[in-house]
Each structure stands twice: as C-alpha cells, then as structure tokens.
C-alpha cells in the first residue's frame, strides 16, 4: 500500500505531535499535581477540538441514537482513563 503525499504529511505531523506530547506531559506532571494537569489539558483541548471540527466542517450535533455509544466512550475515556 502506497501513501499519498497528503497522507504522508499527516502521518509525519501526527508522529511529531505524539512524540512532543510525552515530554510535555512529563514536565506538566512534575510541575502540577496529576489531576490538575489533566484538568488543564482537557480545558485546553476543548477549544482546539472545536476549531478542528469547524475547519473540517464536522457537525457538533450528536444524533439521539448515538447517545448510548457516546456515553460509554465518554465514560471510559473521561472518567476511567483521566481519573486513573
């Protein structure tokens, strides 16, 4: 399978963002209590996610039939992952 130029650029950007994420988390947890740092990262991530959704023209609306799936995804990510 061959990647297109766009896919390759996105892969490189994703790799860089992921790689930078770990040192930032290490510094953040060293300077802040873990749950405070996690709360800050969530609050900073909300506007970034919103801006990305606007740029990609992804609707903010979640159809009613997806509520159950959304609940379990939110529960596992927000409560279990961030809490632990």
Tell me the per-residue pLDDT of 29-62, one tens digit each, with 9 for 90 and over: 788 887 888 788 889 999 999 999 999 999 989 9
Average pLDDT over residues 57-68: 92
Residue 28 CB burial class (10 angstroms; 0-12, 13-18, ≥19): middle
- Whole-prediction pTM value? 0.54
Is pLDDT of 13 > 80? yes
pLDDT of residue 57: 93
32 contacts: CB under 8 Å, gap ≥ 6: 40
SS3 22: helix
Residue 82 has pLDDT above 70, yes or no: no
Q: With contact defined as beta carbons under 8 Å apart, do 28 and 68 qualify?
A: no
Q: What's the chain's average pLDDT?
A: 88
């Amino acid at each position: 399978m061959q990647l297109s130029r766009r896919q390759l650029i996105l892969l490189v950007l994703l790799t860089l963002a992921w790689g930078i994420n770990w040192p930032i988390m290490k510094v953040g947890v060293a300077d802040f209590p873990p749950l405070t740092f996690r709360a800050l990262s969530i609050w900073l991530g909300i506007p970034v996610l919103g801006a990305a959704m606007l740029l990609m023209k992804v609707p903010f609306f979640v159809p009613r039939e997806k509520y159950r799936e959304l609940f379990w995804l939110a529960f596992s990510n927000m409560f279990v992952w961030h809490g632990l």
